[in-house]
Amino acid sequence: MTGVTSFGPPDVLIVDDEPQVREVVATYLEREGFSVRSAADGREALAEIAMKRPDALVLDLMLPEVNGLEVLRKLRAGGDEVPVIVLSARGTEPDRVAGLELGADDYVAKPASPREIAARVRAVLRRSRTTGPRTLSFGSVEVDVGSRQVTKAGEQVELRPKEFDLLVRLASTPGEVMSRQDLLRDVWGSSSEWQDPGTVTVHVRRLRRAIENDPANPDFIVTVYGIGYRFDGD
């Protein structure tokens, strides 16, 4: 993915003909900070995608009107690389292979917990947003991910390697609330069993001093008390 990343909660389209599945998954994803839309069949899904391309797609295979494999085929034939998680009761190996060969990024067999689906969505978004050169822009700050350069109002900002990685992780999913444990896992490849979550707190403090106009009242890296942090970008 290239270009300037637009900010706002990641937009996820859930496509499933079971109302309860759509409702349960949507409720959980919204609680996790995602913006969620839903469609009950393949034709409706294609119309939603044409109207506004989602950041990720959770796609059932067994759909009325146009089935999930056909939706996936049409997307990839048109060159759309939107991350797709196939969600289906058809959990046999041929079905998994068919979905993956058509370009699905992940495959989850039903029944699956909303928590697992949310984790898979976060994972495919991370992969898609770290593919190829790109620029993250917010306020007067520009982050060139490929060259690992940060500028603020045109001036170079010096960051330590983990500070840069933490900034990219937060800024890549604006609106998503991340716990310190989440950030330890994603940025340090560690856990609170092996590393003090205070490590995250220290790095956030340094980042705020580097990029915020008023570190004591941050515009971008916002504390969500009792949970962790959320990135707000304009």
- pLDDT (tens digit, 9 = 90+) per residue, 91-143? 556 666 777 777 788 888 777 888 888 888 887 887 666 554 478 899 999 99
d(CA 163, CA 51): 37
DSSP label at 55?
S
Which residues, in sequence order, are CB contacts of 76 under 8 Å at separation 6+? 102, 103
Task: Report residue 153's pLDDT band, with 50, 70 and 90 as the boundaries.
Answer: very high
d(CA 148, CA 123): 21
Question: For residues 30 and 177, is the Cβ–Cβ distance under 8 A?
Answer: no
pTM check: above 0.75: no
Select the CATH number that applies to the domain covering 4-129 from these four: 1.10.10.10, 3.90.550.10, 3.20.20.10, 3.40.50.2300: 3.40.50.2300
pLDDT recorded at residue 208? 96
DSSP label at 187?
I
As a whole number, mean pLDDT of residues 78-92 equals 76
- Residue 152 one-letter amino acid: K
pLDDT in tens, 17-67: 999 999 999 999 888 888 899 999 999 999 999 888 888 999 988 888 888
d(CA 213, CA 169): 20
pLDDT at residue 73 tops 50: yes
d(CA 4, CA 10): 15
Question: For residues 168 and 148, is the Cβ–Cβ distance under 8 A?
Answer: no
Q: Where are the domains of the chain?
A: 4-129, 135-231
Select the CATH number that applies to the domain covering 135-231 from these four: 3.20.20.300, 3.30.930.10, 1.10.10.10, 3.40.50.300: 1.10.10.10
Question: For residues 149 and 156, is the Cβ–Cβ distance under 8 A?
Answer: yes
